[in-house]
Amino acid sequence: MTDVHILGVGMTRFGRHPDSDASDLGAEALLEAIADAEIDARAVEAAYCGHVFQGMVTGQRILAQVGLAGLPLTNVENACSSGATAIREASLAIRAGEHDVVVAIGTEHLTSRFRGALTPDPSDPEAAVGATMPGVYAMRARRYMEEFGMTREQLALIPVKNKGNAARNPLAHFRTPITVEEVLESRPIADPLNLHDCSPVTDGAAAVVVMSDRAAGRFANGRTVRLAASALRSGSVDVEPTSMTFEPLTWATARDAYEKAGIGPDDIDLAEVHDCFSIAEVLRVEGLGLFEQGSYPTAVERGEADIGGRLPINPSGGLIGKGHPLGGTGVAQVVEVVRQLRGEVGDRQVEGAKVGVAHCRGGKAVGIEGAACTVQVLVR
């Protein structure tokens, strides 16, 4: 059975792109990834495209745009884990021996689909009674404060860290560092979460080129990163029956990934995690086993999660700083981890990083009815 390698990565600027659409952005990211892999576009054999709101055959439009129509392409959707799932399916196509060179694209043009915040589906019974995403995460934050004594100021340090990292990322949606005071004084969204605690509505795309051992040998560009595991799980109230402050789904998916990769949490040098809200980062890093339950807020206060800290979390800026174009997010996380492991990210570089993790979590926030979680392990 072949290993799976990433030889090329590409990503658009994240932000508002009023003059382009999801396939324009996807095509831009794809062409960059192909160029970065230093291969001829004709070497690509198949493609996967992750997105949520972009309509039928979005991936096929991207292929047509870059002159690669004809290839097998599958659009995948797993809510906020859609892009990460595209990478997983690409890796399975490689491991099946079906193809040697496969691209995974994640794209989303949210600003043309929503005015302001994302609105829940009218058929969503929880949202109809006010349990929207911000509402549910706000309750989880309150509960976490109650259980573990986290202060509002500690929680605010997460957006401060992530927007600080984003200020060093030329592709990030937000490029201005913020202070705790600015978080606390920003517009209330769902108490205790304010505007700066929330990830923004972003347009953007990212792409990766994955290869089999055989192709990676043939196209070796000296910057190969191995995709050591790409784990996926679905969630529901059965999987996560009660806890507001711990995520069994994140932990189960992480356990699958660590086992496949033959690593443990202690081996990890950096992580990109799904910080759709400030509290979400706390729940994710603890669910991933990277910090003990209840310990992350004080660890952040001590600088442990900073670039240069014990275990940098979201050096790219995360969803809060870099932006959150749903389908683009999971692929962009992997792009960041690959660039970190290659040592290519300038003043946000995590020195000596060899093992990185990317985590996405989509669907319902407390797992009722439908959720998807991915954990990918990358090794240099």
The secondary structure of 330-351 as a DSSP string is HHHHHHHHHHHHHT--GGG--T
Shortest Cβ 55–a second copy spacing (Å): 5
At 276 the three-state DSSP class reads coil
Q: Give yes or no for residue 118 binding a second copy (CB under 8 A).
A: no
Q: Phi and psi of 195, rounded to 5°?
A: -55, -45
Q: Give yes or no for residue 110 binding a second copy (CB under 8 A).
A: no
Q: What residues between 280 and 339 interact with a second copy by CB under 8 A? A: none
CB atoms within 10 A of CB 194: 21
Q: Give yes or no for residue 211 binding a second copy (CB under 8 A).
A: no
Shortest Cβ 12–a second copy spacing (Å): 20
Give the angle subtended at the CA of 176 by the CAs of 173 and 177, to the nearest 5°. Answer: 120
Q: Give yes or no for residue 107 binding a second copy (CB under 8 A).
A: no
Q: Give yes or no for residue 121 binding a second copy (CB under 8 A).
A: yes
Candidate list 40, 116, 123, 129; residue touching a second copy; CB under 8 A: 123
| CA–CA gap between residue 39 and residue 42 (Å, rounded) | 8
Span from 68-76, 162-170, 202-210, 328-336 in contact with a second copy (CB under 8 A)? 68-76
| CA–CA gap between residue 196 and residue 19 (Å, rounded) | 26
Q: Is 324 a catalytic residue?
A: yes
| CA–CA gap between residue 49 and residue 234 (Å, rounded) | 19
Q: What residues between 338 and 377 interact with a second copy by CB under 8 A? A: 362-364, 369-372
| CA–CA gap between residue 303 and residue 329 (Å, rounded) | 25
Write the burial class of residue 187 (CB in 10 Å: 0-12 exposed, 13-18 middle, 19+ buried). Answer: exposed
Shortest Cβ 374–a second copy spacing (Å): 9
| CA–CA gap between residue 295 and residue 104 (Å, rounded) | 35
Q: Give yes or no for residue 199 binding a second copy (CB under 8 A).
A: no
- Compute how many residues bind a second copy; rule: CB under 8 A: 54
Q: Give yes or no for residue 72 binding a second copy (CB under 8 A).
A: yes
Tracing tokens 């994140």 back to the chain, one arrives at: 250
Write the burial class of residue 49 (CB in 10 Å: 0-12 exposed, 13-18 middle, 19+ buried). Answer: buried
Shortest Cβ 26–a second copy spacing (Å): 12
Span from 31-39, 51-59, 187-195, 270-278 in contact with a second copy (CB under 8 A)? 51-59
**Length of the chain counted residue by residue:** 380
- The encoded tokens of residue 79 equal 């809510």
Considering 17, 49, 80, 196, which one is annotated as catalytic? Answer: 80
Shortest Cβ 52–a second copy spacing (Å): 6
Candidate list 63, 229, 332, 357; residue touching a second copy; CB under 8 A: 63
**Chain CA centroid to CA 62, Å:** 21
Q: Is 274 a catalytic residue?
A: no
| CA–CA gap between residue 136 and residue 235 (Å, rounded) | 16
Considering 324, 359, 360, 373, which one is annotated as catalytic? Answer: 324
| CA–CA gap between residue 64 and residue 47 (Å, rounded) | 12
- Specify the residue, 104 or 150, whose C-beta has the smaller distance to a second copy: 104
Span from 125-133, 158-166, 237-245, 277-285 in contact with a second copy (CB under 8 A)? 237-245
- Specify the residue, 53 or 137, whose C-beta has the smaller distance to a second copy: 53
Candidate list 35, 69, 117, 220; residue touching a second copy; CB under 8 A: 69
- Which residues are the active-site residues? 80, 324
Residues that bind a second copy (CB under 8 A): 1, 47, 52, 55-61, 63-64, 67, 69-79, 85, 88-89, 92-98, 121, 123, 231-239, 249, 252, 362-364, 369-372
